[in-house]
Structure 1
Amino acid sequence: MFDFLSRNRSRWMTLLSVLAALLVLAWWRAQGTPQPMVDAADNKLQCVSYAPFRKPGETPLDPGAMVSEARLREDLSILAARSQCVRTYSVIQGLDKVPEVAKSLGMKVLLGVWIGRERDKNDIEIQRAIQLAREYPDTIRGIVVGNEVLLRREQSAQQMAKYIDQVRSAVDVPVTYADVWEFWSENAELAGHVSFVTVHILPYWEDHPVGIHAAIDHITGTAERMRQMFNGKDVLIGETGWPSEGRQRDAAVASRVNQARFMREFSQAAADHHLNYNFIEGFDQPWKRGQEGAMGGNWGVFDSDGQAKFPATGPV
């Protein structure tokens, strides 16, 4: 009797092992099989985040790093295939040449001013941005004074209001501040200092991550709450996107297929809901992997070699 039970258990274990192997094999085959999905509403994205540090060993954390005008032209020429606008985050390390290069390519710039803890460095960024806004008023769509400064707790909301007011009083282009939606909710008084509200909505990165199936509803719902909170003031989704590689965060799975699906479904939702947005980001940034993990370096529409990761239409 016991011998019979042992043989029966052995057969079941063998069967389960075979089934598990088949499931794994099917999963791996699916990764290499083109996945059908909805086409993007448009081959062009409204705007994309741009940082030039896409090659191995390149990092903005190197104080001596300097980007050549030739690299800027190469990068923006690639990005022009998917967008006629770039958002930058700083005007040092050669990035102050972005408006000049963008103008020559018929592109627009959402000019970033990096605000950190050090006042002297902040002042350098602000003064150079003011100069550029005066020199390229038809190219610079707006100035973003600070990126997630409140999230990093590097300045107070009161100090950010002073920085924003300083820039607004000196230029004729719109001026804004960018942060995640939670910090806008906690510091709603800043809305009175900006030309428009720039909010980051990143389902994958949320404190309670949102899976790809619910990501678009999460964005459109959050954007509508921001519109209502700021009583009709224009809202720009300053960052949204999905990583093509990295760890799974609850239901949020990083993969190239999910990145393509997100971009396509979001572009359609943006058209349907009349959303203004900037997609993060233009190129993969390998240096971010050391700061944020594998997913940090894999948000690009293009990889670090400048190759498109997926088409805007057809299977992926």
Structure 2
Amino acid sequence: MPGAAPDPSQNRAAGAPAGAAPGPGAAALLLLGLFAAAALGYWLAQGWPRQVAEPDPAPDGDRVACLSYAPFRLPGETPFDPAARVSRARIEADLRILATRTACVRTYSVDQGLDQVPAVARELGMTVLLGAWLGRDRERNRDELARAVTVARAERSAVRALVVGNEVLLRRELPEHELRATIEEARRALRKAAPRGSPIPVTYADVWEFWLAHPGLADAVDFVTIHVLPYWEDDPVGIEQAVAHVVATYRRAQAALPGREILIGETGWPRAGRARREATPGRVEQAHFVREFVRTARAEGVPYNLIEGFDQPWKRRLEGAMGGFWGLFDSGGAPAFPWRGRVEADPAWRVGLAGSAAGALGFGLLAAASRARGRRLLAQALAGAAVGAVAVAQWRYAAAWHRDG
């Protein structure tokens, strides 16, 4: 009838209670649905098993030549704590885990209880690349070197070599002539201790560019130890070319230092952190690199040590998340990835799906409690699914980047 007031019931969604706000339109529902699907799809992709490089099929193809070892793998542990001292029991427990993958470990210092590593390694049938840490403090350097030489003499059967200094030139903590004198001092001490036998070899370890920039230093060592880390290169190398880059760099060092035995003292790939151009961290990427590199190094006769045995949470404070996740074992001592077969990007992907389901249920119940029906109820459930999935992703991200592990 002309002039009659419109009936409000004609504008209500079917089944909606009186006074309820109109439900979202089709476009809004579609947008929410796409957002929820993307969040769910992310977690499903994280759990999708991916094919990566397979290791050598030989029975011992799952063994690696050597692994860097530091005991500071639990939250709150750090070598920067002057009171920190690792117990013999802890070293033994750690080496028993590492022995499932290797018969050799590389250490970086003989301070804070690490002088016990060679004796424990010997008892377990393992060998050690024994490290002596050098820095700016000359007096501390003398004490460290004296202790390292003493340990090496006492554990000759377990110590494969003495590594005098690690990336000292990179950090610019000693000039070349002083570093050289320190290395030569260690060589003289070990030769004096073995007048009739072969002295323990002495080396120095640094990034490969510094060996090429200081080739004369090779005369001071028994063999050269280079670090080749594709992720950390000034021009980062993506995972598909990473192993080829390591081998090519090794050959380049051989050509630049003819007649010198060369060991790759550090190489590896991070499992978390930010991408550096084409170099993307990840569990799948780490598994791919380690498997392919170990197989290639064996085939081409390249001696190496992988960095590293265990994740080191304390390194996140220095380098971000990408510093703390290089281990073949996580900070709890569990394998970081399967050695054979397909690999999931994130083994916690089911937690993401559970978070999505919990979000959908929680938002849905809240909506139902407010007497939402139809499109409003569906919209709330979709929003909850998206929020739950994103919340778990954010939690995982924050956990990886947390500086104190």
1:246 to 250, 256, 273: 273
Partners in 2 of 1:139 and 1:104 — Cα distance?
Answer: 9
Which of 181, 185, 200 is 2:208 aligned to?
A: 181
Distance 1:17 1:201 in 2: 46
Distance 1:14 1:232, change over 3 A: farther
Task: Indicate the residue corresponding to 2:51 in structure 1.
Answer: 36
Q: Distance in 1 between matches of 2:217 and 2:117?
A: 28
- Tell me which amino acid in the other structure corresponds to 1:58: E
- CA distance in 1 between counterparts of 2:284 and 2:293 reads 14
2:242 to 201, 204, 215: 215
- Structure 1 residues 265-313: Cα deviation after superposition (integer angstroms, max 9, x where no partner): 0011101221000000000011110011011111110000000111221
Residue deviations 1:40-94 (CA, integer Å, cap 9, x gap)? 2211110000000011111000111100001000000000001100000000100
In 2: Cα distance, 1:18 partner to 1:256 partner: 29
Q: Aligned match of 1:156 in 150, 175, 185? A: 175
Structure 1: distance between partners of 2:32 and 2:296: 43
Counterpart for residue 87 of structure 1: 106
Q: For the structure 1 residues 225 and 16, does the alpha-carbon distance in structure 2 shift closer, same or farther, using more than 3 Å as the test? A: farther
Q: Which amino acid aligns with 2:251?
A: E
Counterpart of 1:237, as a letter, is I
* Aligned-pair CA distance for 1:170: 1.2
> In the TM superposition, what whole-angstrom CA distance separates every residue of 1:179-238 from its partner, at most 9, and x where no partner exists?
001111111110111111100000001111111011011101100000111103111000
Q: Which residue of 1 aligns with 2:117?
A: 98
Structure 2: gaps spanning 5 or more residues: 1-25, 191-198, 344-405
Q: Which protein shows a greater Rg?
A: 2
CA displacement 1:139-185 (0-9 Å, x = unmatched): 00001000000000000111111011001111111100000011111
Establish whether residue 128 from structure 1 lines up as the match of residue 147 from structure 2: yes
Residues of 2 paired with 1:308 and 1:178: CA distance? 27
Whole-Å separation in 1 of the counterparts to 2:242 and 2:129: 25
Partner of 2:221: 194
Counterpart position of 1:6: none
Give the superposition deviation at 1:37. 2.0
Count of aligned pairs:
306
Distance 1:17 1:169 in 2: 73
Correspondence for 1:8: none
Amino acid at match of 1:95: L
Percent identity over the alignment is 54
Q: Distance in 1 between matches of 2:325 and 2:185?
A: 35
Runs of 4+ in 1 over 4 A off after TM superposition: 11-27
* Whole-angstrom distance in 2 between the partners of 1:17 and 1:196: 62
Structure 2 CA distance for aligned equivalents of residues 145 and 51 of structure 1:
17
Ranges in structure 1 where 5+ consecutive residues have no aligned partner: 1-10
Q: Secondary structure at the match of 2:240?
A: coil
Moved more, 128-137 or 110-119: 128-137
SS in 1 for 2:225: strand
> Deviation at 1:28?
3.5
Q: Say which SS state the counterpart of residue 132 (structure 1) adopts.
A: helix
CA distance in 1 between counterparts of 2:251 and 2:279 reads: 22
- Counterparts in 2 of 1:46-57, with a 5 A limit? 46-57=65-76
Deviation by residue 1:16-38 (Cα, 9 ceiling, x = unmatched):
99888766654432211111223
Residue 66, structure 1, aligned to residue 85, structure 2: yes
Larger mean Cα displacement after TM superposition, 164-173 or 102-111: 164-173
1:109 corresponds to: 128
- Matched residue type, 2:309: G
Matches of 1:197 and 1:244, distance apart in 2: 28
Cα drift, residue 113 of structure 1: 0.4
Q: SS in structure 2 opposite 1:302? A: coil
2:227–2:267 CA contact under 8 A, matched in 1: yes
Name which of 206, 209, 219 aligns with 2:233: 206
Residue number among 322, 327, 346 corresponding to 1:300 in the alignment: 327
- RMSD between aligned residues: 1.9
- The equivalent residue for 1:169 is 188
